[in-house]
Structure 1
């Protein structure tokens, strides 16, 4: 790990936990542009800013860099407030049609951070369920909320509402193995029953949230899904870490172990768990089923991939060579997934093989939907 990467993780941990930064790492000249570039790639600039704020003034970046960073943080905070406003308005709209959505990830996990407004927003995911899905989509369309960029995938109806991406989910997720997926759908229905949900009061609006055992696994599975596909940034792992920290006492570990084994996720869980503990600062006691037996794979393959490719793999230089055409672009993505599958096969072969086939099938279905079934 480079010096800038070590410094980045020291600042990130300080921002996550409110702990002092190891100042010995900053006793010499510090390459602040390199550190802040990593923070941007990993979409954790706001959290790193909190870590930097804990340094003495002589160790902090020059004033010009601090001003630019502060402007970035202000934009992150404004985005957080905008997302909360959109979330409450969308929930009120759906409830007016007797639809009661469940918030997945996003603003719901942001509240687990010591400073929620510093977590960078992505989108708003609302689980509707198959029964009310069509009515929810009609409500969004009927009230004129949908402005442009409407698309529908096998999982959700997604659209842009004046700069905020919203997804209305008919299903939470689909697993690539049809047998495991059938079990996962039953597992989802079991956990997302009304009497098991948590309630978060946001701006006088009741926001429904999943229970602890559901989110502990789901937040990880979602990040892992994206990691196999294109890559992830530290923000996705920070969401998982902060959730495990806040709800570790409520998680039924025996049940979680059974679920991880049922969905063949235990090995991946433990590989990423090494990063959760050693790079992000979660205690071993708060991480279920910690082991260091995957240390080498975790550091040399997984962590290196995260640092190189950044948030959802957006910094992979191969994206720059993607051709502009729709079908030629899809073919380019297919080739990239081929290379990524080969790279990851040695460490998480079973998961990669299944997801590869899954993405191939879903990708073909998406092409058909985009071309012929667009709303």
Structure 2
């Protein structure tokens, strides 16, 4: 971990949980702010450094202050739009629950510390088309995802509003654990609660379902393009609010049956070690050592929010997990690449899936498409050896999490 990253973690720790005020190196200010932006925690970090930047680097203050104010405006608009969502769904009699953004901000010591993105909300399948029409009635148009097999529809409205209407939670694996998880996520809307936060009234998941959504969301992105520090902060503030017995009673039995208990322990121990949340007895596991925690935080910081720092992350996916899946096993990355290729062939050419002897034809077809992308410049081929090394490293980290392997 680099010096500016350590200082960034200390600032985030202080802003969220207090304690001793951290010291920063004036020469690291620009690196800290750049990292904060890439990790989507800029709005939390800039106020801490504001006065120092004015003194040390007044020429750079204006640009960073402009970015901060822009984030504040975006966050404010996002809160108001959650209020708008609540009023819209109530008007049309549609049960719903907002997920992720405002639901995560609810657990922060100050909601304004959480950088906001889209307005994400969940509706029942029976209400999906009705909700779509309601959203379009207030000026939104469909951007993408308008198909029966899509997990969500993305809407946009000028100048910069983006809403995502979900029919299911992403990150649910296609296996026995996934069946158990799906039965639980089907209860999100009926168990949701109404809250008012910074003037916005909205329905959000209850504590158990919010925790489950966060775990699935982190795994889904971590095992593909990667998660940023914001995701870890979301989990840290949530886990920190629940007492040991309360968390164990609420989560342990079910998460063990889902194969998510070890992952919850790992992310909590990372939060204790690097963000300074309270010790949690339930999180300690003799099979999880300091080296594993260091690998996880390094992986988070290396990729940035949704892989913002390293575009190779998207290329690495095929060597880590099967296409569209969040499970990560222990097979070699070359075997994983072939496994992922086969899944892609079956997805793109349904007739081959029924006649597996024709699989080599699919390999040739996919290879031809890839070659076409390279020739056209739509796909870059560079730093392949580095990419393979990083993919192997990431696969090793995730495989040790035993994701979706039931703990009986």
- Give the deviation of 1:231 after TM superposition: 0.4
TM-score calculated relative to the size of structure 2:
0.73
Q: Structure 2 residue aligned with 1:181, among 175, 178, 181? A: 178
1:75 equivalent in structure 2: 70
- Give the deviation of 1:94 after TM superposition: 2.4
CA distance in 1 between counterparts of 2:143 and 2:236 reads: 33
Query: In 2, are the aligned partners of 1:106 and 1:125 still within 8 Å (CA)?
Result: yes
2:325 equivalent in structure 1: none
1:170 equivalent in structure 2: 167
| Residues 1:260 and 2:255 aligned together | yes
Does the C-alpha gap of structure 1 residues 338 and 265 become closer, same or farther in structure 2, counting only changes over 3 Å? farther
- Give the deviation of 1:337 after TM superposition: 10
| Residues 1:223 and 2:218 aligned together | yes
Per-residue CA distance 1:50-88 (angstroms, 9 max, x = gap): 4335xx859974333343332222111111111122222
1:235-254 pair list within 5 angstroms: 235-248=230-243, 251-254=246-249
1:15 equivalent in structure 2: 15
CA distance in 1 between counterparts of 2:314 and 2:122 reads: 34
Query: In 2, are the aligned partners of 1:274 and 1:295 still within 8 Å (CA)?
Result: no
Residue 145 of structure 2 aligns to a residue whose secondary structure is strand
Does the C-alpha gap of structure 1 residues 95 and 147 become closer, same or farther in structure 2, counting only changes over 3 Å? same
Per-residue CA distance 1:265-284 (angstroms, 9 max, x = gap): 22322222232111112111
Q: Structure 2 residue aligned with 1:51, among 48, 52, 60? A: 48
Moved more, 240-249 or 115-124: 240-249
Query: In 1, are the aligned partners of 2:248 and 2:282 still within 8 Å (CA)?
Result: yes
CA distance in 2 between counterparts of 1:323 and 1:43 reads: 35
CA distance in 1 between counterparts of 2:119 and 2:371 reads: 29
1:278 equivalent in structure 2: 273
- Give the deviation of 1:40 after TM superposition: 1.1
| Residues 1:39 and 2:39 aligned together | no
1:372 equivalent in structure 2: none
- Give the deviation of 1:19 after TM superposition: 3.5
CA distance in 1 between counterparts of 2:404 and 2:257 reads: 15
1:98 equivalent in structure 2: 93
Does the C-alpha gap of structure 1 residues 47 and 191 become closer, same or farther in structure 2, counting only changes over 3 Å? same
CA distance in 2 between counterparts of 1:213 and 1:202 reads: 19
Cα root mean square deviation, aligned: 3.5
Q: Structure 1: 5+ residue runs without aligned partners? A: 356-375
- Give the deviation of 1:39 after TM superposition: 0.7
Q: Which has the larger radius of gyration?
A: 2
- Give the deviation of 1:177 after TM superposition: 2.8
Residue 168 of structure 1 aligns to a residue whose secondary structure is strand
Q: Structure 2 residue aligned with 1:160, among 146, 156, 159? A: 156
1:320-335 pair list within 5 angstroms: none
CA distance in 2 between counterparts of 1:291 and 1:320 reads: 32
TM-score calculated relative to the size of structure 1:
0.79
